[in-house]
Structure 1
Amino acid sequence: MLSNKSVLITGGTGSLGKALTNYLFAHHPEIKRLVIYSRDEQKQFAMAQEYPVDRYPQIRFFIGDVRDRDRLIRAMKGIDYVVHAAAMKHVPIAEYNPDECVKTNITGAQNVIDACLDSSVERVVALSTDKAAAPINLYGATKLASDKLFVAANNIRGWNPIRFSVVRYGNVMGSNGSVIPFFLKKRAEGVLPITDLSMTRFNISLRGGVEMVMHALEHAWGGEIFVPKIPSYRITDVAEAIAPDCELRVVGIRPGEKLHEEMITSSDSFYTWDLGRYYTILPATHKWNLDEYVSHFHATRVPLGFRYNSEQNSEWETVESLRKLIKLHVEPAFSA
């Protein structure tokens, strides 16, 4: 699929961007060009040390902001596939700087869409978040708007064969700012701050997120929101897995935070189909035949009123399984 193809990742120096870069070079060495597009020069400098051009001649580092439409258009010249991972994602910071969040997550999303439509890009996958489902904070609201923009972009492409799709997943194990690295740092103090003892979250590894992106790039027909089938965990089990001897201190839920993650709402159920490994929320209007889509993917419609959230999940991580996953996916990077 990627033979002689050029790929651009917005927010390419973030957790997902770096994991995707590693995956592409490991599994698709035939890639023609990989452009890392981000606004943080220090992160680009550090990443360039990991991927020196003499060993990875395909890689390019492009300083730019998704708020800058002209810069995006220049960066996308000759690009075949785009993964849009750039976002302002910290909930409290977004609440305090709402206009900045809107400029990056909504205006930036539209700029990416416009630049792709004005270039020779063939496929676009945008990253979403569980917080976009029934949002209660500004970050979630901006990501819901972003999702809607990318889905609707398929309706304005005219005869352009480009396909836009979205991948939505929850808490990424070990990603920047997530709870597990936070607990690993705090355990030396003997006290772990817990927002609420009943809190639950979905759990997906960076590798799982990368595989979702690759699935969407290869299989999307245009307009889908892909949602993974993944286990949940209880925040108290994470604390037990990391620091069983630490005191748990309840500090209260933060503004804009949910007790449980939700990725598919009951209102979405009418448009949601089960693809086996993933669910997909299909667009209300699309340019392809639904019967052909269902037949091609052996899809089955979920029951009306179906909801997918971390509290009512049928699959759960245990303290022991969390310990194994943390040792495998998080501690090596944390101690590096």
Structure 2
Amino acid sequence: MLTNASILITGGTGSFGHAFIPLTLAKYKPKRLVIFSRDEMKQWEMAKQFRDDNRVRFFIGDVRDKERLARALNGIDYVVHAAATKIVPTAEYNPFECVKTNVNGAMNVIDTCIDAGVKRVIALSTDKASSPANLYGATKLASDKLFIAGNSYSGAADTRFAVVRYGNVMGSRGSVIPFFMSLKNKGVLPITDARMTRFMITLEQGVELVWTAFDDTIGGEIYVKKIPSMGIMDIAKSVAPDAETDIIGIRPGEKLHEQMIGVEDALHTYEYEDYFKILPAIHNWSEDPVRIGDGRKVPPDFVYSSDKNTDWMSPEELELWIEKNRQKML
């Protein structure tokens, strides 16, 4: 599907973009891959990595700027929407800015993609959008709903919108593993709560889920990858086995456990071999046999959260992953 296509990724200089771009170039050999983002220095640094590949293009712009988005989408077939204000405390202290990017920006992406005749759009979501406890999660829930409803707006343009949702990305900027690694030599790791659990997904798995969504979507689905969980104390022990831990208390808006599918969504959720799909409740799309495919409906009380997961990553498995990916996190 993506072979010889023109693809644009918003917020493409982030951790996801750094994984998506080389993997997609290698697997699908697209005609064009456009990185749309507002940080010129990050684009300048990323451009050095792809200086010999004329398929990779860079476009300075902000999803808040509808006219600039419209210009960037000229001739684009597929879009990955990864741009967002993501840091929980930043969103809490700058709520207007968070809404402008995560909600207004989402509306701009939807409108301009329909106008440009883009074929399919995959928006990246977060575990924090499921039963949100902070502004970031609330804006991403709103964004998810907008992209789902976008399928009703596309009309004759036939632009399809879907969402990919995942939690803690191992080794990404701002994630706990590189944070703990940076403090390893100090001998003390700050822990918000010893009971805390997190989902563990690699960037490569996140990219593969986006590819799956592009290939599978009819429109309006939320894709959730099946991944293991891990306790925060085991993560700390894997990163710095000799370090002490200092319990500092949970931060405002922070969850004890990550949740990607709440009980409210169970009525519309189907299970597949490697992932779950939350089907849209609007227009009876959750009963559409084409969208359901070979999925199996989950129980009505189903919740997919990091503490109730049946799959757990061991400290030994994480240690092996860290050793293999250490250079990427330096």
Structure 2 length as normaliser, TM-score? 0.98
- Relative to structure 2, which stretch is displaced further, 316-325 or 140-149? 316-325
Q: Which amino acid aligns with 2:21?
A: T
- Report the Cα offset of residue 275 of structure 1: 1.9
2:21 corresponds to: 21
- Cα displacement (A) at 1:291: 2.1
Q: Distance in 1 between matches of 2:282 and 2:193?
A: 40
CA distance in 2, matches of 1:179, 1:236: 11
Report the CA distance between 1:162 and its aligned residue: 1.1
- Which residue in 1 is equivalent to 2:246? 249
CA deviation map 1:235-272 (0-9, x unaligned) = 00011101111010001000000000000000100000
Residue 287 of structure 1 and its aligned partner are, at CA, apart by 8.3
SS of equivalent to 1:134 = coil
RMSD: 1.1
Q: Distance in 2 between matches of 1:33 and 1:293?
A: 29
Match of 1:230 among 227, 230, 247: 227
Report the 3-state secondary structure (helix = DSSP H, G, I; strand = E; otherwise coil) of the residue aligned with 2:157: coil
In structure 2, list runs of 5 or more residues that go unmatched. none
Partner-residue secondary structure (3-state), 1:118: helix
- CA distance in 1 between partners of 2:284 and 2:155 (Å): 10
1:332 maps to which residue?
327
Q: CA 1:287 to 1:196, structure 2 compared with 1: closer, same or farther past 3 Å?
A: closer
Deviation for aligned residue 1:292: 3.2
Q: How far does the alpha carbon of each residue in 1:30-83 deviate from its partner, in whole angstroms, 9 at most, with x for none?
A: x1111000000000000000000xx21111100000000000000000000000
Q: Deviations over 1:279-312 (max 9, x none)?
A: 0000012586712333xx3111101111000001
Alignment match of 2:302 (pick from 303, 306, 309): 306
Give 1:36's aligned amino acid.
I
Q: 2:194 is paired with a residue of what secondary structure?
A: coil
Q: Indicate the SS of the match to 1:168.
A: strand
Any residues of structure 2 matched to 1:193-208 within 5 Å, and which?
193-208=190-205
**SS of aligned partner of 2:223:** strand
Give, in whole Å, the separation in 2 of the partners of 1:291 and 1:126.
23
Match of 1:293 in 2: 291
Aligned position for 2:40:
41
Report how far residue 25 of structure 1 moved: 1.4
Secondary structure, aligned partner of 1:306: coil
> How far apart are the structure 1 equivalents of 2:89 and 2:12?
23
**1:160 matches 2:157:** yes
CA distance in 1, matches of 2:24, 2:47: 16
Work out whether 1:120 is the aligned partner of 2:90: no
Question: Does 2:94 match 1:97?
Answer: yes
Consecutive unaligned residues of structure 1, counting only runs of 5 or more, are none
Equivalent position amino acid for 2:290 in 1: E
Give aligned-pair identity as a percent. Answer: 56
Whether the aligned pair in 2 keeps the contact of 1:155 and 1:287 (CA below 8 Å) is no
1:68 equivalent among 62, 65, 68: 65
2:290 counterpart SS class: helix
Q: Which amino acid aligns with 2:47?
A: A
CA distance in structure 2 between the aligned counterparts of 1:246 and 1:121, rounded to whole angstroms: 51
Give, in whole Å, the separation in 1 of the partners of 2:206 and 2:129.
Answer: 17
